[in-house]
Structure 1
């Protein structure tokens, strides 16, 4: 069934002010440049303002300061992107747990599956595991021994939870996620590597979303901990005994080495490398490609590293000069001695 909402209905549902024809309906979302009269769009980034004048969108979500630049139907909100996010939920509601276990699924005799939980085809629920009400376990997903999937949480197809993993309420784990694999622990003997067995688990809070193919290792002794409302993108590696504070968001291809503590409400951009056994304060922002080698103790601070993109000839010249810095510094010191 196609969702359809009028301008005034949307305003009431998302807490926005409407302007225009209150009965104008939309049934889809689209970009400003492609939208038609039956579709809603939004403007949050000023770089797309050039599409506003000629957009065919039936409704546009705007900041009140932009209202005089658009003559059509509008939803006015102090945070257009937040408003748009609420609207997406109306057009893409979360799958509902119908309840029941697929005949091809394997459920251990001593596992608990709530009658309102849904277990998909070829899923495996191991001994001692608990699947709470309205949870959804996707096709071919595995919930290991003594692990818990909380109320209304959803595992997409092919998610693997090892043993001793606890997933809170209202979480989403996308395909390919692996939670609770062994951390990278090996003791050198001089001749080979001796495995350090990982004895902890993983605790994940409520309203956490974990992107496809992200891995979170179990703790060596204590648990690895992911706080409430944490958002992890695709292809992230979280090492053993890492602690991530509430409301922190981390973008794709970032790796966090073991025993590092990341504070609450941090934003970590893509391809960041964070060394182990350090602490990052609350509210810190780390730019893409940064290598974090020591603790960040200043809350709310922003950090960057790496070389920005340059035209290749310019980069080569600067790289060559970088190699000469040590000699140049020595020459400067010698000159200062003879002043």
Structure 2
């Protein structure tokens, strides 16, 4: 309290029939129940000039503006706000209670209570409604929800969801929508609860994503995540935005490319062509290719094809081809010798 000057003479008293110098206040809760032992202050321009405490009936009835030298000498005339002290567990409901102190019109003018709540004051008891400050919840706002373009496997997994806003709690509720690359929704998943870490302006939590390996989700491309601070909100969720790269991407499905008939799966080159020059004991040299399983008779996914230099229906090894070749040569040589011998015999007979 700010101390003021000390009067050397008793202050002038207001005419009871004309001016009011005693204020009567009743402090109640939102149900109308009187509040006991609540400290109220009289504040002007942010400075407290006096205080009083409610009695067993929730009232202040002994406040006299004429006796309060601190208020008049230090605060002077003007408007005073009546409210709970700064450390109180209560706060005012509705409009503030304002007491206007003015000076009487007499030449020796003195202070009096001209009005309360903007109405002329005639000495009646004015009601001040209060509520518990702890019952007031700060307004929560969400300004951004993003997954940062993170990727999860098709078998499922977790990804961090970042939330920005004001007065953010440490618990969120989230839901997920599954989309294909064209933006068509494939599935919607029910709400889940998550505990978040961080500050009141930026928090992060891990969201769990299910598997999309089922054939019906083969075109799944990304997850849209919706977040709220209350469960099953009537007005929907704050969601990630695709155009801002905030969705959770789904890893592309791995594909095994089967070789087309006529292709060499080893290096994608053309068919092997026998070399003109035998090596390693006469076997022909070919470009590398996959081995043929026993019993395939030389045919496979790669095969069922024939070299333009061979019309055989079976595959011969290099050694077998070498033997057949020399056998053919020997037979041809013998046939030649036979023909020559036969011609010589014919000449002799002639």
With normalisation by structure 1, the TM-score equals 0.18
Higher-strand-fraction structure: 2
Larger Rg: 2
